[in-house]
Chain A
Amino acid sequence: MMYKKIQITLLIPILIGTTGCASLGVEPWERDLLSKKEMSLNAEPIDAALDDHIYFSKEASSGGKGFGGGGCGCN
């Protein structure tokens, strides 16, 4: 059951990567909105760190969030 879930989650990015890439994404000069701080995957790192600490202490789950990608794509 859990392996199916892993498979599905890994399948999505692979599918996007191989087939959907042509239609997904933007030109480098179309990243005005993506470059905004609010559109960052980890927009409020201090809040996230404080929350993570609370939920790690009070619940049985932790982590899972990532890093990398999005943004202005500059340099």
Chain B
Amino acid sequence: MQYSLKQIQFTVFILFVLLSSSHNANSQEVVNSQTALEQALDEHKGEVVYLDFWASWCGPCRKSFPWMNTVQEQYKQQGFSVISINLDADKMLAEKFLIETPANFTVIYDPKGKIAKHFKIQGMPSSMLIGRDGKIKSRHTGFFTKKIPEYQQEIEQLLNAIEVK
């Protein structure tokens, strides 16, 4: 299934409307995480985006951070960004994690997991590669160090892809 950026924006807007009219006192933060993602995607429009879902208690997530830092630096000039979604229910644990394993990429907090649920995340960690046209090109469940060459190849292919309008 491919989502265009417009579809993502539309869904987020609908969710915003529904959630703001709900009685749930936590709806404020939920809306914020969705709009935060929307804003981040907007900022990086036209770039290849690596969307990563992680949590402090997830071991393979810890392993993926050094690599994500590396590719963020390596491909930044070519128009590439890593946007990560943190799914810790307790933000303090995420902050503690980031002290030990710093990130030089965007971190959006989604403690209620609304973004994860929207994207039907199947396992931890999960990642999606969004092409320059705003469409999701690939999804991965889990992070495997032996697959790093494969992950990088996918990024490079998208960076070099000629956009067909």
Contacts and interface: CB of A to CB of B under 8 A. Distances in A.
Interface of A: 27-32, 35-36, 72-75
B123 A28 contact: yes
B98 interface: no
A28 to B, nearest CB: 5
Given A74-B142, A75-B142, A75-B144, A28 B121 contact: yes
Contacts, number: 50
Contacts of B125: 74
Contacts of A29: 53, 55, 87, 113, 116, 121, 124
Contact of A32 (B53, B89, B121, B123): B89
Given A72-B57, A74-B59, A75-B60, A31 B124 contact: yes
A29 B54 CA distance: 8
B123 A74 contact: yes
Interface of B: 53, 55-61, 87-90, 93, 113, 116-117, 121-126, 142-144
5 contacts: A28-B116, A29-B124, A32-B89, A74-B59, A74-B61
Contact of B57 (A27, A32, A75): A32
Contacts of A31: 57, 124
Given A28-B126, A31-B124, A36 B113 contact: no
Nearest to A34: B57
B114 to A, nearest CB: 10
Contacts of A75: 60, 123, 142-144
Given A73-B123, A75-B142, A75-B143, A27 B55 contact: no
Q: Which 4 pairs from chain A and chain B are nearest by CB?
A: A29-B87, A75-B142, A35-B57, A28-B123
